[in-house]
């Protein structure tokens, strides 16, 4: 089984860190002489991260090797023109935003509406995961209210860089749910 998952969010919301953690790539690069982090470089358009996992589906608990492509989309609003291409054939969407920035909460609401509510992608709320990203040194906050989301949309708050085990657990549950939906659709056809 192959799944295409779009990863969207405002600029500097943590999309690259998220896809790196989920793709098990290094998330922090330090300069060996000064100890400083490499400066932020925004994703220019789309970056695809491939990963493999096994999911257990169906009443018979069958194991499926699953290839997942995370399509990380740069947060620049000028990239709206490529959104239809990202949405095409997507099996799920992850929306990430910084919980402490009101403008990012608003942008996440707009992305939810664009990619799920007002989209002809055919994605159900269960095929969406919203992540409120809390950064290091911040007190833990619950996810901010995203306007118009269904109760069936999973919405979590996590520090993407520090709480990788919880993040991977939530991602695995999300992917298993998406795979189950795709499996059921394919079984019916």
For 44-83, the pLDDT digits (tens) are 678 889 999 988 887 778 898 999 999 998 888 888 888 8
- Work out the average pLDDT over 93-122: 86
Query: Residues 17, 18, 22, CA angle at the centre, nearest 5°?
Result: 115
How buried is residue 46: exposed, middle or buried, by Cβ count under 10 Å (0-12/13-18/19+)? middle
How far is 20 from 39, CA to CA, in rounded Å? 16
DSSP 74: -
Predicted TM-score (pTM) of this structure: 0.84
**110-145 pLDDT, tens digit each:** 888 888 877 777 888 899 999 988 865 554 555 556
- Work out the average pLDDT over 182-187: 86
Percentage of the chain beyond pLDDT 90 is 28
């Amino acid at each position: 089984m192959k799944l295409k998952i779009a990863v969207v969010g405002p600029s500097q919301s943590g999309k690259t860190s998220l896809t790196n953690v989920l793709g098990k790539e290094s998330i922090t690069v330090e300069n060996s002489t000064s100890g400083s982090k490499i400066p932020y470089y925004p994703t220019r358009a789309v970056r695809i991260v491939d990963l493999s996992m096994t999911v257990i589906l169906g009443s018979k608990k069958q194991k499926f090797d699953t290839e997942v492509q995370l399509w990380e989309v740069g947060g620049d609003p000028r990239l709206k023109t490529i959104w239809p291409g990202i949405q095409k054939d997507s099996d799920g969407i992850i929306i990430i935003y910084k919980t402490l920035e009101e403008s990012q909460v608003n942008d996440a609401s707009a992305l939810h509406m664009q990619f799920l509510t007002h989209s002809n992608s055919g994605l159900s709320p269960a095929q969406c995961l919203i992540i409120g990203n809390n950064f290091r040194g911040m007190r833990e906050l619950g996810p901010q209210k995203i306007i118009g989301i269904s109760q069936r949309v999973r919405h979590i708050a996590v520090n993407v860089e520090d709480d990788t085990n919880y993040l991977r657990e939530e991602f695995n549950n999300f992917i298993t749910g998406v795979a189950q939906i795709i499996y059921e659709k394919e079984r019916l056809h």
